[in-house]
Homo-oligomer: A and B are copies of this chain.
């Protein structure tokens, strides 16, 4: 055990001491330790691919459900398109090919056939195949809009992988919509960006900057991209969702056209948008602490864990009988409660469930039984308070709602304390010599000035900007009139 680790004893199967690095001393190692030891995900023998373990997958399912409900309420429909894309289809939109080809995995052989006539790309994203297929179903303006989404896996061959954030295979949703007008398509981009904000802020408790990406950072082949950008507890940025206006670029390349009201053929305006299991990485890095995860109640697979405390069989019986007086009601009213009857000392259980980020813990010992109460412990504040068993579920419901808000407020406060404003490149470079955080600066919108910042700071990039607000003042790099204020930060 080295100095920068904190010990969290967990007895699970064999005696097994789990150590996680201290967040403040080694954020990267802390992250990997937490992901693996909280049993969210793990490395596998397959290069670049991870296993999402049940506890991590349960969080993903809640994210899926929340977002799926939003898009369905506004008329979007799920569908499923092929995993494999023939090379000749994949390569029709020039910028898109250039952007994605370096990451494509190719199927070249199959079964008894041996070598295939044509390589098949495993989808890195599906604009090309979905456009090719949807063109058959779009004839007239009456067939528009088409608002489609699919939940699926994609593969992008990555050199450096990082659990949840950058893996060769990942799970995501990709929305693809087809519209008669650019105005309608651009409104769709904003609608979805709003859903991404809602998902992030109301469910994940992670505040985000929503805005437009620079030309350099936009989706390969699109007209413009918008994104949600979150701040992690090391001050770095994580891009969590993107919503792209593709204009008629893909419609032109894939001939996706319709007959308008004047009986003329026109190209569709299209959009695409996606979020991935990277969202789980955002939750971990936006809320965690030295003891492990802190999960927002709305996504937590276990919202409340009860740890019984007893000395002998008779004591166990009394504690169990007491727990049974309120357990069913709490569960029936929709609170995800786990009573931990596993072997092991209470202290070990406290550590395990703290590592796993369960928002509320109930300690239930002999004195609690006598007083008809439980001892409620908050994962965020570590406060301990006795709470009467009578009316427990209302109390837990209120505490969970309060916890959800408090977590968001803490993350928002953290972001505000780590947000800065500079006017010159020198100030920006000085800031990023040691510092992190979002740094807003006036910018002329040129790729040259953006590149200059990246070079001088060793990797700081533009995150996003509000396209509707023109900036005053001079570009931080070239001194010409600024076009907008943009947020700079290093990103995962």
A contact residues, total (Cβ < 8 Å): 63
Residue A85, interface by CB 8 Å: yes
Those of A126-170 within 8 Å (CB) of chain B:
129, 132-133, 136-137, 139-140, 142-143, 148, 152-153, 155, 157, 168-169
Copies in the complex: 2
Q: Is A61 an interface residue (CB 8 A)?
A: yes
Please tell me if A79 contacts chain B, counting CB pairs below 8 Å: yes
- Asked if A325 is at the interface of the complex by the 8 Å CB criterion, the answer is no
What's the nearest-Cβ distance from chain B to residue A336, in Å? 12
Tell me, yes or no, whether A14 is within 8 Å of chain B by CB. yes
Segment with Cβ contacts to B, from A49-57, A214-222, A303-311? A49-57
**Interface-forming stretch among A97-105, A363-371, A443-451, A464-472?**
A97-105
A49 to chain B: which residues have CB within 8 Å? Answer: 82-84
A46 CB within 8 Å of chain B:
yes
Interface pair B107/A139, CB less than 8 Å apart: no
Taking the complex as formed, is A109 at the interface, i.e. its CB lies under 8 A from any CB of chain B? yes
Q: Are B132 and A45 in contact (CB under 8 A)?
A: yes
Taking a contact as CB atoms under 8 Å apart, the answer to whether A54 and B82 are in contact is no
Question: Can you list 25 A-B pairs, Cβ within 8 angstroms, ordered by A?
Answer: A12-B143, A13-B142, A14-B139, A42-B136, A44-B82, A45-B86, A46-B82, A46-B84, A46-B120, A50-B82, A53-B79, A54-B78, A54-B79, A57-B80, A61-B78, A82-B169, A83-B153, A83-B155, A84-B105, A101-B111, A102-B112, A105-B107, A105-B111, A106-B110, A108-B109
In the complex, given contacts A53-B137, A108-B109, A122-B122, what are 14 additional A-B residue pairs having Cβ atoms less than 8 angstroms apart? A14-B259, A44-B132, A45-B133, A50-B82, A51-B81, A61-B78, A83-B153, A84-B155, A84-B169, A102-B112, A103-B111, A104-B110, A107-B108, A152-B153
